[in-house]
């Protein structure tokens, strides 16, 4: 299971709980004769109410269900237990974001380096780009002169050749910036630039927590 899916388990669990509560509330109750009397219609009850923007579903924040292990430069270290399984990850937001054409809105983007001991996964690099990506299109990560292909699914991307991840993480430790280029399903091209300041310390903390 990939990193982003793990972070969303808690959200799914909450949705299931809400669904179960709703189903229980709709179980058949004894009929109250007065409930079936026809009440006069209030014309204002059926008028369409304006949508409150705050009622709309908000993007998932990966750190909502996680415990902070510390902030190191531009990278935070976190621990979480989705599904009862301990995972640790270093996370950062981009220092700068550009898009072509400009001015298009999207959800927040993040870069991760994750450890999942139960699955024997170490230093898995992934990104959330904040929009559904073009099907079959590869995202690209560049660290200095080194480039890595990322396979994409929905709003996320992972290193295509997992054998490159260990070397990639070492390059991140020594680099200054990480650049992610991707394209949306509507043809919008984006470039997210992450500072790598603090990544080495964040990775050391994550490795210590999830040995």
The reported pLDDT for the residue numbered 22 is: 32
- pTM exceeds 0.85 for this model: no
In angstroms, the CA 127 to CA 93 distance is 10
Return phi, psi of residue 161, to 5°.
-105, 100
Written as one string, the DSSP assignment of the chain is --HHHHHHHHHHHHHHHHHHHHHHHTS--PPPGGGGSPPPP-GGGGSPPPPPGGGSPPPPPTTTT-EEEEEETTEEEEEE-GGG--EEEEEE--SEEEEESTT------EEEEEEEGGGTEEEEEEEE-SSPBPTTPPEEEEETTEEEEEEEETTEEEESSGGGHHHHHHHHHH-SEEEEEEEBTTS-EEEEEEE-TTHHHHHHHHHHHT-
Is residue 62 within 8 Å of residue 128, measured between CB atoms?
yes
Compute, in degrees rounded to 10, the torsion defined by CA atoms 142, 158, 11, 200: -50
Q: Name residue, tokens 């001015």.
A: 103
For residue 170, pLDDT over 90 is answered with yes
The reported pLDDT for the residue numbered 16 is: 30
Q: What percent of the chain has pLDDT over 70?
A: 70
- Arithmetic mean of pLDDT, 177-192: 96
The reported pLDDT for the residue numbered 149 is: 97
Q: Where are the domains of the chain?
A: 3-15+64-209
Look at 161 and 30; give whichever has higher pLDDT. 161
The reported pLDDT for the residue numbered 61 is: 61
First vs last C-alpha separation in the chain: 19
Tens-place pLDDT, residues 45-92: 433 333 333 333 344 466 667 999 999 999 999 999 988 999 999 999
Decide yes or no: CATH 3.40.718.10 for domain 3-15+64-209: no
Least confident of 36-40, 90-94, 189-193: 36-40
Is residue 94 within 8 Å of residue 192, measured between CB atoms?
yes
Q: How many CB atoms lie within 10 A of CB 86?
A: 14
């Amino acid at each position: 299971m990939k990193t982003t899916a793990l972070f969303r388990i808690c959200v799914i669990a909450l949705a299931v709980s809400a669904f179960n509560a709703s189903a229980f509330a709709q179980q058949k109750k004894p009929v109250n004769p007065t409930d079936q009397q026809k009440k006069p219609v209030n014309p204002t009850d059926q008028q369409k109410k304006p949508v409150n923007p705050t009622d709309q579903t908000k993007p998932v924040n990966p750190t909502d269900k996680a415990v902070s292990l510390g902030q190191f430069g531009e990278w935070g270290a976190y621990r979480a237990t989705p599904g009862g399984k301990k995972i640790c990850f270093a996370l950062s937001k981009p220092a700068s974001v550009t898009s072509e054409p400009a001015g298009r809105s999207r959800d927040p983007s993040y870069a991760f380096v994750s450890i999942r001991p139960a699955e024997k996964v170490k230093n898995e690099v992934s990104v959330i780009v904040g929009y559904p990506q073009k099907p079959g299109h590869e995202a690209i990560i560049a660290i200095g002169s080194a480039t890595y292909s990322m396979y994409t699914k929905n709003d996320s991307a992972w290193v295509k050749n997992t054998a490159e991840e260990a070397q990639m993480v070492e390059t991140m430790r020594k680099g200054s910036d990480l650049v992610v280029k991707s394209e949306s399903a509507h043809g919008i091209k984006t470039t997210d630039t992450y500072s790598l300041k603090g990544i080495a310390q964040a990775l050391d903390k994550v490795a210590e927590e999830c040995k």
